[in-house]
Every structure is written in structure tokens, then in C-alpha cells.
Amino acid sequence: MTPCGSGGQDALIQERKFKMIKPLLQGLALTLKYFIRPSQVVTMQYPEERWTPYPRFRGLHELQRDQNGKEKCVACGLCSTVCPSECIHIVSAENAQGERYSEVYEIDMLRCIFCGYCQEVCPEDAIFLKQEYELASSEGTGFIYGKERLLAPLKKHK
């Protein structure tokens, strides 16, 4: 904590402000250098340029479907139990055929640490962490991923 109100402190802050000016100018000069010569840039030009993640990268989850297009997840609850950040919320229910399925499957991406435990524990191979990493959102609820965003899209089946 900074104690305030003492004269000696003020003098110190004045002195520091003065010392900052030189590095600031140095930095601006560097910026100017790359601005004039863009060919020397080393950072990635996102979003024009995009990074290809490594194969074992763990990004956004995807809920799988079987070859008939049916959701693989049976709402066994193991992933939500194993998840160290307790960010998976499942409501299990019975479907029309009397089978178990997840009525609600939500992951809170703000809490997820992408450890991949859920993928590892799943007995049905129903969840995988894929390569998708662009998860920013401008509102809080945007980070709660429900089934509509997690489920793999239906492929055309004959």
C-alpha cells in the first residue's frame, strides 16, 4: 500500500516521473521503426493471420454423434463429476425411447481450464476437446456453452 500525504513521497514520485520519459521515447522509436518497415514484423497479424493449433491442443469441446446422427452422450455425469473446476452442468432425463440422454449440457467456458479430464473420463467417447480457441464474448452469458453450440453438427446421412 502506498501511504499518501507525506512530502518526501511526493518528491520521490516526481523524480520517478522524470526517469520514465527516456524509456518511453525509446519504445515509441521502436514502434516507429516497424511502422516504417513492416517486413520486419515478428508477431502474428491476428485476425488476418490465424494460427493452426498443434494436434494435441485442447480447445472448445465438441459433443459427438454416432453414425446415425444420435447424440453419443448418455448423461452419465462422469465428466461433471471429474471436472476439477466444476463447470459442467448436466440435467439428465429420459427420451421418447426410454433411454438416458442429457436434456441440458452446459459448460461454463470462463471456468473451464481445458484440462481435458472430461474427454478422458467419458465412457461413451462423447466429448472431445477440439481445436477451436476463439471463445471471446462481449457478455457473461456468452461463455455458457449449451448443447446448441457444443454438439457436432448433423452430417447428412442417407
Partner 1 sequence: MINLIIDNKNITVPRGTDIFLAAKNNGIYIPGLCYHPKLSQYGGCRLCMVEVTERGRTRHKFSCAQPVSEGMQVKTKTPEIIKYTKSVMEYLLAHHPLDCPTCDKSGECGLQDITHDLKLSKGRFKTVRMNKPMRRDNPLLEFNANRCILCGRCVKLCKDVEGVGAIDFQNRGINTIIGTAFDKPLDCSFCGGCLSVCPTGSWQDRTFKFRARHWELKKTTSICPYCAVGCTIETNTKDNTVLKITSNDARGMNEGNLCIKGRFGHDFVHSDKRIKTPLIKKNGVLSPVSWDDAIGYVAKRFREIKNVYGGKAIGGIGSEKCTNEDNYVFQKFCRMVLETNNIDNLSNMKSPLLNTLIHKSIVHGFTSTTSLKKIEKADTLFFVGADVTEAHPVIGTLARKAIRLNKADLIIANLRNVRFDSIAKNDIRLIHKLGTQAPLINALIKTIIDEKLVDLKRVEKATDGLRELKSLLKTFTIKKASQITGVSEETIRKASALVAKPGNCYIVCGKDIEEDPSGPDTIKALMNLCALINTASSLKTDAGKISLVFSRLNNNSQGANDMGVVPDFFPGYLDIDDQSNRKRFEKSWDTKLSDTIRKGTAFNLIDLALKKKLKAMFVMGENPIVNFPNGKTVKEAFRQLEFIVVQDTFLTETAQLADVVFPTATFAEKEGTYTNMAMEVQRLNIAIPPVCNARQDWQILCDIAKKMGVTLFYESSKEILDEIENTVPIFSGIYYERLIRQSFNWVTAHKLKSRKYKFEILNPKSVTVKKKRDYPFLLLTGPSLHHLGSFSRNSNSLVSVASECFVEVNRKDAQQMNIHDGDEVLIESIQDSMKLKAKVTKKLPENMIFIPEDYEWVHVNVLRDNVYTKVKLSKA
Q: Which residues are at the interface with ligand SF4 (CB under 6 A)?
A: 73-79, 83-85, 87-88, 90, 107, 112-118, 121-122, 124, 126-127
Residue 100 binding partner 1, by CB under 8 A: yes
In degrees and rounded to multiples of 5, residue 108 shows phi and psi of: -90, 105
The correct pick among 60, 62, 71, 78 for binding partner 1 (CB under 8 A) is 78
In degrees and rounded to multiples of 5, residue 142 shows phi and psi of: -65, -15
Residue matched to cell numbers 439428465: 92
Residue 120 binding partner 1, by CB under 8 A: no
Q: Respond yes or no on whether the N-terminal peptide bond of residue 53 is cis (omega within 30° of 0).
A: no
- Please report, as residue ranges, which positions from 5 to 64 form the binding site for partner 1 (by CB under 8 A): none
128 burial class (0-12, 13-18, 19+ CB within 10 angstroms)? Answer: middle
Whole-angstrom distance, CA of residue 134 vs CA of residue 142: 12
Residue 74 binding partner 1, by CB under 8 A: yes
The correct pick among 93, 104, 110, 113 for binding partner 1 (CB under 8 A) is 93
- Can you say whether residue 129 is alpha, beta or left, with left for phi > 0 and alpha for psi between -120 and 50 degrees? beta
Residue 108 binding partner 1, by CB under 8 A: no
Q: In what order do the strands lie in the sheet with 88-94?
A: 88-94, 100-108, 144-145
CB of 144 to partner 1, least distance (A): 16
Residue 43 or 144 with smaller CB distance to ligand SF4? 144
Residue 60 or 87 with smaller CB distance to partner 1? 87
Binding site for partner 1 (CB under 8 A): 74-78, 81, 91-94, 98-100, 123-124
